[in-house]
Every structure is written in C-alpha cells, then in structure tokens.
Amino acid sequence: MRISALFAVLMFLTTAGFSQVPYRKYKAGEVYKYRLTTIADRVNFKSKTIAVSEHRVVNEDNILAEEIKWLSLVSMTDKYKARLDSVAHKVNPYRISLLPEGKVLLPKLNIPSMTGPITDLNTFFVAVAPASNAQQLSENNPVINSGVVREGDFTNGLTILYGKDCIVMSQHLIATDKRYTIIRTDFTPPDSFCLKPLVDTIASKTFDKPNNFQMIQKGDDNRLYLYWGVETFSITSKIDKRTGVIVDATMENTLDLRMRVHISPDLKTYADEIPFLIKRSMHLELLK
C-alpha cells in the first residue's frame, strides 16, 4: 500500500509537469468540417451568420496542413434571411497548419461578406497554435502571459479600407481529463498605445485602457466612417488530447468604440462623433 501510494504521488508530480495541450496530429487525406455561428449585437441592430468550412489535410512542402474551402454562408436579421453559398464559394482555398513548423496566416480578404468568418476562424486557430504557447500549459504552469504585442490587419480594400488592431495574449488552463483539455485564451490591449494613429485623437486614451483598434469603413452610401477604441476577446477551446483537434470553441468579442460619421477622405472633417458598442458571440463546432 505504501509503495502504491508513493507511486501515485510520483505519477501525479510527473504528469502535472506535462503539457496538457498536444501538438496537432494530422493524417494526410483526412477531411472534416467546422460550423461557425456568429451573433452580433450592434447599436440598434442584431444579426446572425452561420458559415461552414471544409478542411482537407494535404502535404505542402513536406509539412502537413489544412486546406480550407468555404462551403456555405447564411446571413440573417429580424427582417431577412439570405443564403449566400455562392459568395462563400468565391473564397479561394487556402492553407494553415498547427504544426510547430507550420503557419496560421490570413488569406487575401477580397470577398467582403466573408471577411468576418475568415478572420474569426483564423483567430480560433491562432489561439491554440504553437506560436501562442498553448502547448506550454500544464498543471504546474496553468497561466502563461506572453507580453508580446501582436498586430492584426483586417483590411479588405473594399468595405474596410483600413483596419488594424493590436493585442497581447495570455493562456489559461481551465480543465483537463484523459480525453479533453479546455483552455481559455485572452486577447487584451497592451499597457501602452500600440498603433500608428490615423488621427491624433486615437493616440489619447478614450476609455479605461489604451486604444488598440482603428478602422476606416466605406458604408452602403459610399461615405466613410472612422472607428477607434478598445477591443478585447476571449476564446475557450475544447481540445482532443489524442489528436490536438479543436472539438468545440466559443469566443466573446467586445469593441467599445467611437465613430466619426461621414468623415472626409483626409480624415479632417466629419458630420458627427458618437459612441459605438459591438458585442459578438461566436461558436465553432467540429462536424464529421
């Protein structure tokens, strides 16, 4: 009994130091799908989109990667529902890899209606990528704060004429058992301003944290709108410990912004400036 108890303690101490998030284990030719559901709540406007992507594991320069093809897109509000599969099909297939030697990069964002699904899916994968230190989490090391400032560019050149944000990431081990690990990845503003401001006002603190988001958007009326403020998001991922695949994940994204309406191309004059709050909830589901 004493030996068994000692063995159990030694096993606990050993396994507590092991990574609880495995590297992705791909199988060439494997095919699976993800469904991404997004509910967005803007000022006086709510919307929902459901997009489905197909992932096929391919060999690219002797590195296994996921070739992503978008299959469908449904967009809906309280007033309408539109099936936009033909729009989803316009996105050219692109590849990402969660292997240590792989990359998780955004493709060219040239289909405006797909900018959201593409960038959001990418963010889910970034959260568990080796470059984000997810595989360093263990019971002995349950929180990792990288402190590295990462800049994102979501410009699509059509409706989003300029779009940049910057964040720092932290990883948190939430739960683990023999089959699954659950982690939370927080994306928050750095302690100091991290953008090249489009206008001087953006460099000043608008809210309780430094601004880390700025965007110029062309509206349906072909007029320009300038947004800036604080963006945060948090992703909770359920990961299969056998394969490293994301089984299920959720994301909460909040943008606390200011908006300048009908701003001039030189960004010097505008019709009005108003607060603009966006809250988005996303759910990513693995489909077989």
Instruction: Going residue by residue through the chain, which has 288 residues, state the pLDDT in tens, using 9 for 90 and above.
Output: 444 443 343 344 334 556 789 999 999 999 999 999 999 998 778 999 999 999 999 998 889 999 999 999 999 998 889 999 999 999 999 999 999 999 999 999 999 999 999 999 999 999 999 999 999 999 999 999 988 899 999 999 999 999 999 999 999 999 999 999 999 999 999 999 999 999 999 999 999 999 999 999 999 888 999 999 999 999 999 999 999 999 999 999 999 999 999 999 999 999 999 999 999 999 999 997
CB 176 within 8 A of CB 139: yes
SS3 of the chain: helix, strand, coil, percent, to 5: 15, 50, 35
Phi then psi for 80, rounded to 5 degrees? -150, 165
- Name, in order, each residue with C-beta under 8 angstroms of 28's C-beta and a sequence gap of 6 or more: 57, 58, 59, 64
Closest CA to 219 of 229, 227, 209: 227
pTM (2 d.p.): 0.89
CA atoms within 13 A on the CB side of 83: 2
Beta bridge partners of 213: 165, 229
CB 112 within 8 A of CB 119: no
CB 215 within 8 A of CB 199: no
Q: Map tokens 């309406």 to a residue.
A: 261
**What confidence score (pLDDT) does residue 17 get?**
57
**What confidence score (pLDDT) does residue 42 get?**
87
Domain ranges for the chain = 20-287
How far apart, in whole angstroms, are the C-alpha atoms of residue 205 and residue 228?
A: 11
Indicate the DSSP class of residue 188.
E
How far apart, in whole angstroms, are the C-alpha atoms of residue 279 and residue 288?
A: 30
**What confidence score (pLDDT) does residue 43 get?**
76
How far apart, in whole angstroms, are the C-alpha atoms of residue 182 and residue 137?
A: 11
Integer Rg of the chain from CA: 21
What fold does the segment set 20-287 form as a domain? Lipovitellin-phosvitin complex; beta-sheet shell regions (2.30.230)
Indicate the DSSP class of residue 209.
S
Listed in order, strand segments (DSSP E) in 61-179 are: 63-76, 81-83, 94-96, 143-145, 150-153, 160-176
Phi then psi for 21, rounded to 5 degrees? -120, 105
Closest CA to 254 of 38, 37, 41: 41
CB atoms within 10 A of CB 60: 12
Q: Map tokens 């002797």 to a residue.
A: 62
AA letter at 16: A
How far apart, in whole angstroms, are the C-alpha atoms of residue 72 and residue 86?
A: 8
**What confidence score (pLDDT) does residue 242 get?**
95
